[in-house]
């Protein structure tokens, strides 16, 4: 089986589309923070009087407003502009009138994005650019509710690489920044020791509070000082790429040697009362989050799935013009799990290699020759982090191809030690966002299945070649395989 690489490596916009995309017109409006707060008060009152204090589901909100679920999510999540009339329907559903200071044009958010570094009480560090953002209305509603209504202290956004965790976190932070005194974004991409991270964050927090920036010398002293800052001011702290301080080849959530103190930080922030919020993004759930989270606890986690087909199609079309039926579009988006990074790569290659024809891309996928180097690298990094048992489980899921129960999967696994570790391994894979669960059955996303299958074939070919070289009696396989 031959793998087709699109221009060696693809990096987002590095391949220019043959047909330039049409500029999107700036249509529609979004709620201002004032308008959103006004709506939340009315919604909370309605939930108390009409729904026994339980929050309305998105489906219930859709029925109440008379708007489609997708439109309702966009309006309430402030993720994308909607027409003014839609906002009027939402407001009237809760007995409100929409006034001029309740909504704004999207350009206002873009200006906030461009000027975010100018605020002396905000440090955005290496936060990514979110000027192009699609969907996620339902997720934004969920996260805003946890932070602004339920006052959660510790939240983790989880998901496979490229799924859009960082982009969602930045978009959320920009939307709610006005409700916090201080905003600090930090990436753990380079795995800084906790003392280094604390010193940088504390120095900034103390300066914004007008305090002397002389720091305690001990780790416990620095942690205590941080908690004091989180009680004194309402701070939004964001920690991106938390998985870089976690172990590879172990069960999920275990810290690398020398980084165990980050667990103490998470315990403090999750358990000790304060008025701030720490938002994490990670491919894996830490053990502290797993222990502390709960539906009514101040610690929550949100597993980020892919974009739905309509949202994925919108993102895809930023790269140019494409031809394909609705069924072909749906199949392509689902194949790549709605992963935004994968879709950007596929879109660029579709323009470059197939003149924008979706059918030709699907034909290549059917022949098993369309896996991108960048996507392979992404999945290589996640696969290499797995324990031996987790890798074995992933391989058997790929071999089965269809969703399979835990008991059926246990029958496939040959060794008794691996069978005994199967429940723990599956739980770990779920936390790593590599396995999908529907009721009592488990499966892989199509692109992950394709990757594992190709990896297995490559491994078998290499073993045959190695055996042949050692025994001098097997003709080497062609190098094109």
pLDDT tens, position by position, 23-77: 444 468 888 877 877 888 888 888 888 988 787 887 888 899 998 887 887 788 7
Q: How far apart (Å, rounded) are the C-alpha atoms in residues 70 and 284?
A: 29
Q: How far apart (Å, rounded) are the C-alpha atoms in residues 75 and 90?
A: 8
Domain of residue 76: give its range. Answer: 27-105
Q: What is the pLDDT of residue 115?
A: 52
Q: What is the pLDDT of residue 114?
A: 54
| Same domain as 166, residue 133 | yes
| Same domain as 111, residue 101 | no
| Same domain as 295, residue 207 | yes
| Same domain as 74, residue 47 | yes
The β-bridge partners of 123 are 184
3-state DSSP assignment of residue 282: strand
| Same domain as 283, residue 146 | yes
Residue 80: inside a domain? yes
Residue 269 in contact with residue 124, Cβ under 8 Å?
A: no
Q: What is the pLDDT of residue 24?
A: 45
Number of domain units in the chain: 2
Where does 93-228 show beta strands of DSSP type E?
Answer: 103-104, 122-123, 154-158, 182-187
Q: What is the pLDDT of residue 344?
A: 86
Q: What is the pLDDT of residue 278?
A: 98
Q: What is the DSSP letter of 357?
A: B
Q: pLDDT at residue 110 above 60?
A: no
Q: What is the pLDDT of residue 310?
A: 82
The β-bridge partners of 281 are 157
Residue 293: HSE in the Cβ half-sphere, 13 Å Cα cutoff = 14
Task: For the chain, give the mean pLDDT.
Answer: 82
Residue 43: inside a domain? yes
| Same domain as 213, residue 160 | yes
Q: pLDDT at residue 197 above 80?
A: yes
Residue 350: inside a domain? no
Highest mean pLDDT among 72-81, 105-114, 439-448: 439-448
pLDDT tens, position by position, 143-156: 999 999 999 999 99
| Same domain as 238, residue 130 | yes
Task: Give the residue among 63, 80, 95 at the shortest CA–CA distance from 141.
Answer: 80
Highest mean pLDDT among 14-18, 134-138, 338-342: 338-342
Q: How far apart (Å, rounded) are the C-alpha atoms in residues 286 and 154?
A: 12
Q: pLDDT at residue 403 above 80?
A: yes
Highest mean pLDDT among 232-246, 332-346, 430-444, 454-468: 232-246
Residue 289 in contact with residue 154, Cβ under 8 Å?
A: yes
Q: How far apart (Å, rounded) are the C-alpha atoms in residues 386 and 250?
A: 6
Residue 82: inside a domain? yes
Q: How far apart (Å, rounded) are the C-alpha atoms in residues 421 and 298?
A: 31
More confident of the two residues 268 and 107: 268
Q: What is the DSSP letter of 155?
A: E
Q: Which residues contact 215 (CB under 8 A, 6 or more apart)?
A: 198, 199, 202, 203, 206, 221, 222, 225
54: domain CATH number is 1.10.260
* Structure token digits, residue 228: 């004091």
205: domain CATH number is 3.40.50.300
Q: What angle do CA 317, 318, 322 make, to 5 degrees?
A: 30
Of 278, 303, 328, the last residue of a domain is 303
Q: What angle do CA 369, 372, 373 make, to 5 degrees?
A: 120
């Amino acid at each position: 089986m031959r793998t087709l690489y699109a221009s060696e490596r693809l990096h987002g916009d590095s391949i220019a589309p043959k047909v330039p995309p049409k500029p999107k017109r700036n249509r529609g409006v979004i709620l201002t923070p004032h308008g959103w707060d006004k709506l939340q008060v009315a919604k909370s009152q309605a939930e108390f009087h009409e729904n026994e204090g339980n929050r309305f589901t998105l489906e219930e909100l859709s029925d109440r407003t008379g708007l489609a679920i997708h439109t309702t999510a966009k309006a309430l999540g402030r993720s994308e502009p909607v027409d003014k009339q839609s906002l009027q329907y939402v407001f009237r559903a809760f007995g409100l009138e929409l006034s001029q200071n309740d909504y704004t044009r999207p350009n206002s958010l873009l200006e906030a994005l461009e000027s975010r570094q100018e605020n002396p009480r905000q440090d955005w560090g290496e936060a990514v650019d979110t000027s192009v953002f699609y969907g996620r209305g339902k997720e934004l509603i969920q996260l805003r509710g946890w932070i602004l209504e339920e006052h959660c202290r510790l939240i983790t956004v989880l998901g496979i690489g490229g799924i859009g965790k960082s982009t969602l976190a930045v978009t959320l932070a920009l939307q709610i920044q006005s409700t916090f005194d201080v905003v600090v974004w930090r990436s753990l991409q380079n795995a800084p020791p906790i003392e280094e991270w604390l010193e940088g964050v504390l120095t900034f927090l103390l300066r914004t509070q007008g305090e002397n920036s002389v720091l305690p010398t001990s780790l416990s002293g620095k942690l205590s000082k941080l908690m004091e800052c989180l009680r004194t001011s309402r701070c939004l702290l964001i920690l991106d790429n938390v998985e870089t301080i976690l172990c590879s080849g172990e069960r999920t959530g275990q810290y690398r040697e020398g980084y165990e103190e980050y667990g103490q930080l998470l315990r403090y922030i999750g358990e000790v009362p304060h008025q701030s919020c720490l938002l994490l993004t990670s491919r894996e759930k830490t053990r502290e989050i797993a222990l502390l989270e709960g539906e009514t606890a101040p610690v929550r986690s949100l597993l980020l799935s892919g974009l739905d087909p309509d949202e994925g199609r919108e993102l895809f079309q930023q790269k140019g013009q494409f031809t394909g039926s609705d069924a072909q579009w749906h199949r392509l988006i689902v194949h790549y799990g709605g992963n935004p990074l994968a879709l950007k790569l596929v879109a660029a290659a579709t323009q470059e290699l197939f003149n924008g024809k979706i059918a030709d891309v699907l034909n290549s996928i059917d022949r098993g020759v369309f896996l991108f180097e960048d996507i392979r690298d992404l999945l290589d990094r996640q696969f290499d982090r797995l324990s031996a048992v987790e890798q074995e489980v992933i391989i058997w899921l790929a071999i089965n191809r269809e969703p399979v129960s835990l008991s059926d999967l246990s029958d496939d696994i040959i060794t008794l030690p691996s069978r005994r570790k199967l429940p723990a391994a599956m739980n770990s894979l779920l936390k790593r966002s590599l396995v999908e669960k529907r009721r009592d059955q488990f499966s892989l996303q199509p692109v992950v299945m394709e990757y594992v299958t190709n990896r297995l074939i490559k491994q078998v070919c290499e073993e045959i070649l190695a055996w042949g070289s050692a025994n001098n009696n097997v003709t080497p396989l062609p190098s094109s395989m």
